[in-house]
Each structure stands twice: as C-alpha cells, then as structure tokens.
Amino acid sequence: MNAQRRSTRSLHIPARPEQVPLARRAVLDTLRAWGVPAHSEAVQAIRLIASELLTNVVLHAAAATEQVGVVLELCDGVWIRMGVHDGHPECPAPGAGDTEATHGRGLQIVHALIEELHGVVLTERTDDGGKTVWVELPCRVQDDGDRYEGPDTADSRVPVERPVPVEPGVPVERPVPVEPRVPVERRVPVEPRVPVEPRVPLEPRVPVEPRVPVEPRVWIDVARL
C-alpha cells in the first residue's frame, strides 16, 4: 500500500497481562488524536484486535518476549495499520472452530472481523527471530469541527448528544421538583419468645372424711347435789 501521508506511533510494553488494557487505551487515544471517529467500526475493531493479539502474546509468547512492540499508522487518512511484535518464531493460527469451546476462539473472531470490514492481516518474520502481525483496516478521518471531545476512557466511546438550541421567545418547561422521599422507620426486631415449661399436673385431692357430730355437753348443777 503506497501512502502519501502517514502518521506513526510506536510503543513497547512488558509482556504481562496487566499491561494489555494500558496498551489498548494508548492505541485508542492515538486514533482519537488523529481524528478517527471513536464510535466507528474501524476503531471498535482495532480495540478488539489489539486486545486479542496482545493477550495472545502474553499467553503464548511471554517466555521468548520481554517487551511487546506495538506500531500504529494512519495512511492517507483512509487506512489504519497496526503491528504487534513479539520474539516467538511461531505464527499464530486460528483454532479448529469448536463452537462449544470456552476459550481459544479469539483469533477466529479477529480474522472474521477483518474479513467483514474488507481489511488485511499478514505475519512478517523479523531479524530477531520473532514476528510482527500486521492488520490493515479502512477508516475515515473526521474534520476538526466534527471531532468528538468526550471523556478519555477505553470503555466510553459513544459521543454525547449536544443540546438543541431553543428559539427565542419560546418558554422552556422547567422540570417539576420531586419531593424528597420520607425515610421509612425500620421495624424493631422482636425478641423471640421464651418457651414456657408445661405445667405439672396436680395430684387429685384426697376426700376428707366427714366430721363426727359431737354430743352436746350436759351441765350438772353441783349445788343441788
């Protein structure tokens, strides 16, 4: 591909898992600075491809690679070219395509995505015994007045809607203030009941014998005796 105008940036990161998000963020920020729309298919594809290629190096080529090299180029404002270099001699290859596999399908997705966007992927041997995987995708650069200047995060790539200008003289409806919620009193937890011991049955009363009637006393007049 012969390009007349070319913007280039390169970086090197340690071959460790925690460095993958940092490298991906640097790639996306660079494309943003070059005017490539953050919500475009090309940028979203580069985000996924960069994650997969860098993760593949960390998982399979870290023993032969201390530093992973990433090269990013914007050619004529219509092509994005990204290269990921490692020191392992073997070329990455997509898996067998098992639809029930839980991992190992990243390169299949990368190749399918590049083909869908009419891009190119190729592997180049390097003099140090390693390789560089190159990916080329078509893109479109925004004009300076249309560039999105939103928050600089890797996961926030949707442009913010600008407010619509209001015609003069038209009253603007103000939002009705919402009354604050009344705090609900929490119920006091009730202590569990203490089980009551069953009553001991009382022994039946012993019947009382009736009292024997007492004979009346007889008074004797002593004086008469």
CATH number, domain with residue 136: 3.30.565.10
Range of the domain at 49: 16-95+104-143
List all residues 6 or more positions away from 56 whose beta carbon is below 8 Å from its beta carbon: 92, 106, 107
The Cβ of residue 181 has, within 10 Å, a number of other Cβ atoms equal to 6
Is position 91 within any domain?
Answer: yes
Residue 173 inside a domain? The answer is no
Cα(first)–Cα(last) distance of the chain, in Å?
Answer: 167
Q: Is residue 81 part of a domain?
A: yes
Alpha-carbon distances, residue 176 vs 12, 134, 169, 179 (angstroms) = 54, 56, 21, 9
**What's the rounded mean pLDDT across residues 72-92?**
90
- For residue 40, give both structure tokens: 């475009």
**Does 220 reside within a domain?**
no
pTM: 0.58
Residue 38 lies in a domain: yes
CB atoms within 10 A of CB 82: 20
Which is more confidently placed, 212 or 63? Answer: 63
Q: How many structural domains is the chain composed of?
A: 1
Reply yes or no on whether the pLDDT at 151 is more than 50. no
Which of 100-104, 197-201, 202-206 is predicted least confidently?
A: 100-104
Encoded tokens for 16? 């460790």
